[in-house]
Amino acid sequence: MRVLVAGASGAIGVRLVPQLIERGHDVVGTSRSEPSAERLRALGAEAAVLDLLDPRAVRRVVLQARPDAIVHQATALADGGFTRKLDRGFAQTNRLRTEGTDALMAAAREADVRRFVGQSFAPYRYARAGGPVKTEEDPLEADPPASARQTFAAMRHLDEAVTGFGGIALRYGGFYGAANDGLVGPVRKRQFPVIGDGGGIFSFVHLDDAAAATVLALDHDGPAIYNIVDDEPAPAREWLPALAAALGAKPPWHVPAWLARLIVGDGLVMMTEARGASNAKAKAELGWTPRYPSWRQGFAAVYRRAGPVRASA
Ligand SMILES: NC(=O)c1ccc[n+]([C@@H]2O[C@H](COP(=O)([O-])OP(=O)(O)OC[C@H]3O[C@@H](n4cnc5c(N)ncnc54)[C@H](OP(=O)(O)O)[C@@H]3O)[C@@H](O)[C@H]2O)c1
């Protein structure tokens, strides 16, 4: 298959491109800059420089590439999207998930592209009611924190647009697997505390496993949504100390919920009440088996390899 990967130079893209090529696909990868395009060529892909927020450019690149499938992995999180006002930090990513998805889809229809896989997200999104672990059939949170409403709406838009096209939305867990993962700095600096009873559940996935599931999804007919998460959704009070230990950092602080509310605002509920996600459907239907079934082995494998903690880090 000829596969166009939008956002191929990001954290998941650079792992996905080699796995697609290994599987026998021809890959056209997009990035925003020529140096990133060069990196994609070194991975064995054809490369195109593309701003997904320019619909005319999207149309041109898709019509030129003539792919059989499109995989949308573009986000804008490298400069940090995790602020107290989530919608502010995610503003550009939200546009990529709405306008970017729509532009890719319009071009895909014109170019008669049959398959579409889009990057979605599982943690924090399932309704904060009932059991701790949710399937794709369970309802999403109807009342997200005010500071994150646009971000939740953008993810919902992507899910609905992709499945409306007949494609597959992959609700990935929180990515880890690179030395510069977003959580590494804050946890090393003890800036990421366990809040309240640390009961909010989070689902992780190793980047290599996320890429492997994406390759499998391309062989599968849509429409469908899959949680691409590891086998062990876990409360912060368990995974956060384990991550600190794997990094060789001091254990996280514990902060009472009332105090944390002053710091993290209305996003607090995501830290204390979030539900995890089940990967049973992806395992059964995609035949996906994560190489890192739990963050327990994954953190140890990834971060111990990353070397000792520097005092100034
Ligand atoms: N599920 C998750 O937990 C999740 C999901 C996404 C990201 N993250 C994390 O966030 C951090 C940053 O992610 P990242 O390294 O993938 O970087 P990123 O800045 O989110 O970029 C991802 C990809 O999107 C492309 N892109 C950005 N803006 C674009 C635009 N306007 N048009 C077209 N393409 C655009 C980037 O191209 P350039 O390389 O040219 O900028 C790159 O290929 C990483 O730690 C990652 O693990 C986590």
pLDDT recorded at residue 307: 55
- Residue 204: band (very low, low, confident or very high) from pLDDT cuts 50, 70, 90: very high
For residue 91, pLDDT beyond 70: yes
Q: How many whole angstroms separate alpha carbon 114 and alpha carbon 126?
A: 29
Distance from Cα 186 to the centre of ligand 1, integer Å: 19
Any idea which residue has 């062990």 for tokens? 232
What does pTM read for this prediction? 0.96
For residue 155, pLDDT beyond 60: yes
Tell me how crowded residue 82 is: count the other CB atoms within 10 A of its CB.
Answer: 13
Q: How many whole angstroms separate alpha carbon 125 and alpha carbon 139?
A: 9
Spatial CB neighbours of 160, under 8 Å, sequence gap ≥ 6 = none
Distance from Cα 177 to the centre of ligand 1, integer Å: 15
Ligand 1 pocket residues where CB is under 6 Å: 7-11, 13, 31-33, 36, 50-53, 74-78, 96, 121, 172, 174-175, 181-182
- Residue 311: band (very low, low, confident or very high) from pLDDT cuts 50, 70, 90: very low
Residues 41-52 have a mean pLDDT of 98
Atom nearest to 10 CA in ligand 1: 16
Atom nearest to 51 CA in ligand 1: 32
pLDDT in tens, 248-279: 999 999 998 888 888 778 778 888 899 999 99
Any idea which residue has 């867990």 for tokens? 173
Q: What is the DSSP string of 88-150?
A: HHTHHHHHIIIIIHHHHHHHHHHTT--EEEEEEE-TTTB-SSSSSEE-TTSPBPSS--GGGHH
